Structure 1
Amino acid sequence: MSTTASPAAPPTLQPSLDRRRLLAAAGLGGLATAAASGEAYAAPGLDPMDLSFDIVDTQRPRDLVADRFVELRDRFGGRGPRYTVLSPSDQPGRVRRRDGRLEIGGRDPHFTLLRSTTGQRAPYASVVVQVASMSGDDERDRVYAGLVADAGDHVLAWYDAATGRAGIDVSVDGVVTELGSAEAPALTGGFRMAFSLTSSTVVVFVEGGEGLQPLVQARLDDHVDLRRPALLARYRNGFGAESGSGRTELAAVEAGYFGELGLRDPHLVTRADGTPYLRDGKAYLTFTQAGLAFFETAHWGVWTLDLRTFELEQVANLFFRREGLDAVLGDHAGHLVLDERNDRWIVTNSTWGDFSFEGVEINYTTVSTRRDLLSGVHVLRTRRLPLPLADLPSEAVGQWDPHVVRIRGRWYVAFVNARAFFNFYPALARSARGADFDDGLRLVGADADKVETEGTVMQKFGDSWYVLASNGDASPEEIRGQYPVYDLQMDQVGVLDAPHPTNIPWPMVIPVPTRNGRTRWLIVTFNGTQFEEPLLGYGTHGDVVVMEADRTTRGRQFPRR
């Protein structure tokens, strides 16, 4: 279930498509793909302050079930998938397919759950049920969607037409707890109801006048921890109905990996030397995909950005198991690097996946390039990256937003260091010449005068490398809303000339090579637009914002590949 909204659209999961499709300027229509050697790079004198950026596109993907990550789709025609019929009340209704409908019913009270053979490898899931008609019973008339282990163990969202309420139940060893319920629109047929889980937070969505709307949010804490992989493996996508009598008819069900309510923290996928990973006219980026609540409900995915139309498409889901922790988490806000010289991927990210104001670290792993991290679903094991702490101007309580690049035989890691939550500033570490990125990193410098500056990225302009970051709303007034630019000694040399659309947007600059030997410059960032914040709280932002420089520049930033 995929939709795209403009910032002005109402908070619905079915907004209209409203994005600016820009044709490339004359001579800029294609990306270079042929190999070349000894090619001249961009003008040596170019620096980031020579460019001025304006917003050219804003969009908002929202997906309860990510398009490429559907595990179950059944329109109830023909034979269809197989289900195990369960009944928590030991009174299952009759189940049959007929004329593109799934009928669940009987003259007597019945409670029927259908457990599919499909599930997810991480606790990021949605199950969406299309209801053709309810049974009409005036005491109990429910439809269910969620994750089902057996008749006594399940997590379910429900809608009850008899009471006009929707809610969330969890059952453990047959003991059912209602986690919450709320009034819902009066619906009898031709509507959708959905269950979504991100980490430990569950939300029930019911279709009203503006598409699927969240009605109840609850946490599974103290009931069942589906972040534990062995426990999650028992649960499968499921759905069902309960009624005092009569027949419930379902028109379709779709289930799979949860998508996003918003996207933020864009970060280019690069090669080890910083070359953007571009293929078939598209850039590959990682995004933090906003979940159903605060930072711990988000997760990390790989997306492509069409460099002409700016169309976004998710191509991979990345989840993590940290060293010493029995949980699958959605750690995010990091950098994915293709290190071809060493036949590996370098994966670094920030441990926001279980954030509870007790600290954030930068974790990492390396993976053989035989594993395609730009496609499919991956659960990766990570450990802490040994970044310098003692040499920093103040003791850190957290580190996040890593960017890794190899420059002239040394690995550089840009990151954020926090002296307190939330009081943080950018820093830069470097390896010894010939050493690996995780071996003996030493501090190059840090801008400890900053108090709310993050989103560190590195980019090459002309023949020099720079560190870019973003000053948030808590910064002193004279620098608030700026993108500071640093050299590789972490001395600030200027400010990027670009809009600053939210508190701390990332200045993810993309140098795009063109067929006529020039470079087109984009920035991909995000804004702070939330989705249903009164119910879901802060953390569901943002819209993806694309900016373009006022001019192209001579030469290419990196060799053609």
Structure 2
Amino acid sequence: MTDIDRRDVLRALTALGVTGVTASLFGGTAEAAGEDPLDLKFSITRQFRPFDLIAPKFVQVDTTARAGALVETGVRPKAPYGTVTVEVLDAGAPVVAGLAGHGVSVLGTYDPAAGQAAIEITTAAGTTVVKTAPADLRAPFGFAVVVNENAVTVLADHGTGWRPLLTARDEVRARIDLRDPAVLGKLGYAYGRRGPARLGKVRAGYFGQAGVRDPHVVQYADGRPYIRHGKLYLTMTNAGLGFFQQAHWAVWTLDLADPAKLDQVATLFFARDGVVLGDHAGQIVVDDDRFVLLMSSWGDFAFTGVHVRHTVTRENVLSGVHVLPTEQLALPTTVSSWDPALTKIDGRWHIAFVESPAQQPAFVFHPALAAAPRGADYDHGLTLLGADRSVTQTEGTILQRVGGRWYLFASDGNAREYPVYDLRLRKLGTLNAPYGTNIPHPMLVRIGDRWWLPTFDGTQYAEDVLGYGGHGDFILMQSS
């Protein structure tokens, strides 16, 4: 028998004006036949790289440098994700920047006489230079020190963009734990000059991003996107200067009239196990007067497992800086999990997620779907509806209704495609959309009469110095 492409059949039926019962033979109602995810065709309309050492709306210090070997501003970040930038007008002596207070400091330094950049830690046990790298910086230049979790990175800019000189994490953590609120609470942004150097503008504030990934539209419980004043709200993972622990979570807005305008409006951190972390890759659901937040425990990932966490709050998490306590979500799985996607479908909470039986020697992961009993809250009595264990590199689970029917979308890194499932995790086909590098997530959202698909790729930032983790570009696709 000759193979028939279901898409061609549906297009032919539509052209002939066939509707109703006839169309339902091919997968649904006339509405579904007119708008089936397998019939959508996407193309890339925007691609750009958000990059900010300090998130523009989260600058905490903006001043002209004062004289001093170490000037302590007294301004503190709520989480160990901050940046200090210093304009060096004349590098006649060493310059320093970082965090300091109460006799403790975590500093990046540049010594022009030695031709060396360094990371220097001072605690009650004394001062230790934990790492150095050769550097030849000719004034004027920008000097920056970034803290992402316990990773400290020194960067310079001669007018062509920030480039890292060196970074250290394990060496820093061996002497201090910046995730500990008791430690971080004593440290503020600091800078200084150890001799006749001349400094200009100093700025400090919450770290922005080296790239973005894992976009998930902020939505209401029933799946409708959260849009205010012509702007679509979405969460994204802000790539840090290094591996997963260096990333953190943020809320962004996308201007629907000008999709090139992507603005960070909130910064989110999470308190658990006595420390403050940048857990990410999750979702925010607006449910009446509460915000339901779900996220993945990448903030302390050490190849010993990942799980989905959650919290409920009435704080406006769509604006400002927040540190929220969380707890593990009781999913119906005995293995690791991440990428939660929550929606109330026909009065019953459904949550898609990724199951991962292994993260070493290689990652193995696949999509799954669970649901709570009718009338129960999203975190009570979850039972597994299905999982696709035939795939081993599939994540980015998204729940979305298209043409009156609900689907689970995901991203298969091996096949380089976006599989489309029903709510029993039966594969129906794949999205007709470009598949880039890494494992881009298929975040479908209906805007007007078109479907948009914000996603990302695997383009790295300074991988030669920072290693894997500083990706990716923001990519926006639209349906034709």
The TM-score normalised by the length of structure 2 is: 0.91
Shift of 1:208: 3.4
Partners of 1:487 and 1:440 in 2: CA distance: 22
Partners of 1:320 and 1:156 in 2: CA distance: 25
- 1:220-251 per-position Cα deviation (integer Å, ceiling 9, x unaligned): 211100101121000000001113xxx32211
Does residue 184 (structure 1) correspond to residue 184 (structure 2)? The answer is no
Match of residue 362 from structure 1: 308
| 3-state SS, counterpart of residue 296 of structure 1 | helix
Partners of 2:30 and 2:173 in 1: CA distance: 54
| 3-state SS, counterpart of residue 49 of structure 1 | helix
Call closer, same or farther: CA 1:131–1:174 in 2, change over 3 Å.
farther
Gaps of 5+ in 1: 1-40, 77-101, 105-111, 390-394, 514-518, 551-561
Partners of 1:281 and 1:215 in 2: CA distance: 41
- 1:6-33 per-position Cα deviation (integer Å, ceiling 9, x unaligned): xxxxxxxxxxxxxxxxxxxxxxxxxxxx
Match of residue 93 from structure 1: none
Q: Which amino acid aligns with 1:404?
A: L
Match of 1:166 among 109, 113, 117: 117
Shift of 1:174: 5.7
C-alpha contact (below 8 Å) 1:153/1:174 kept by paired residues: no
Call closer, same or farther: CA 1:263–1:448 in 2, change over 3 Å.
same
Partners of 1:122 and 1:235 in 2: CA distance: 11
* Counterparts of residues 64-143 of structure 1 (less than 5 Å): 64-75=53-64, 102-104=66-68, 112-134=69-91, 136=92, 141-143=93-95
Call closer, same or farther: CA 1:406–1:186 in 2, change over 3 Å.
closer
Partners of 1:305 and 1:385 in 2: CA distance: 29
Match of 1:526 among 449, 456, 462: 456
| 3-state SS, counterpart of residue 449 of structure 1 | coil
C-alpha contact (below 8 Å) 1:127/1:145 kept by paired residues: yes
Partners of 2:475 and 2:127 in 1: CA distance: 44
| 3-state SS, counterpart of residue 353 of structure 1 | helix
Shift of 1:132: 1.9
Match of residue 422 from structure 2: 487
* Counterparts of residues 213-362 of structure 1 (less than 5 Å): 213-219=163-169, 220-243=172-195, 247-310=196-259, 311-322=261-272, 325-340=273-288, 343-362=289-308
Shift of 1:312: 0.5
C-alpha contact (below 8 Å) 2:67/2:193 kept by paired residues: no
Match of residue 17 from structure 1: none
Shift of 1:185: 2.3
Match of 1:43 among 31, 43, 52: 31
C-alpha contact (below 8 Å) 1:345/1:367 kept by paired residues: yes
C-alpha contact (below 8 Å) 2:83/2:207 kept by paired residues: yes
Match of residue 7 from structure 1: none
Gaps of 5+ in 2: 1-28
C-alpha contact (below 8 Å) 2:120/2:127 kept by paired residues: yes
Shift of 1:210: 2.5
Partners of 1:185 and 1:520 in 2: CA distance: 52
| 3-state SS, counterpart of residue 210 of structure 1 | coil
Identity across matched positions, percent: 46
Higher helix share: 2
Shift of 1:314: 0.2
Match of residue 476 from structure 2: 546
Partners of 1:543 and 1:71 in 2: CA distance: 27
C-alpha contact (below 8 Å) 2:140/2:158 kept by paired residues: no
Match of 1:469 among 393, 397, 410: 410
| 3-state SS, counterpart of residue 224 of structure 1 | coil
| 3-state SS, counterpart of residue 63 of structure 1 | coil
Partners of 1:489 and 1:502 in 2: CA distance: 29
Q: Which amino acid aligns with 2:100?
A: V
Q: Which amino acid aligns with 1:59?
A: F
Q: Which amino acid aligns with 2:70?
A: L
C-alpha contact (below 8 Å) 1:42/1:461 kept by paired residues: no
Partners of 2:49 and 2:182 in 1: CA distance: 34
Match of residue 399 from structure 1: 337
Shift of 1:103: 4.1
For this pair of structures, how many residues does the alignment match?
Answer: 445
Shift of 1:344: 0.8
Partners of 1:255 and 1:174 in 2: CA distance: 27
Partners of 2:77 and 2:30 in 1: CA distance: 46
Provide runs of 4+ in structure 1 moved above 4 Å.
none
Call closer, same or farther: CA 1:211–1:185 in 2, change over 3 Å.
farther
Match of residue 368 from structure 2: 427
Partners of 1:261 and 1:542 in 2: CA distance: 8
Does residue 55 (structure 1) correspond to residue 44 (structure 2)? The answer is yes
Partners of 1:209 and 1:63 in 2: CA distance: 14
Match of residue 9 from structure 2: none
Q: Which amino acid aligns with 1:165?
A: Q
C-alpha contact (below 8 Å) 1:185/1:208 kept by paired residues: no
| 3-state SS, counterpart of residue 472 of structure 2 | coil
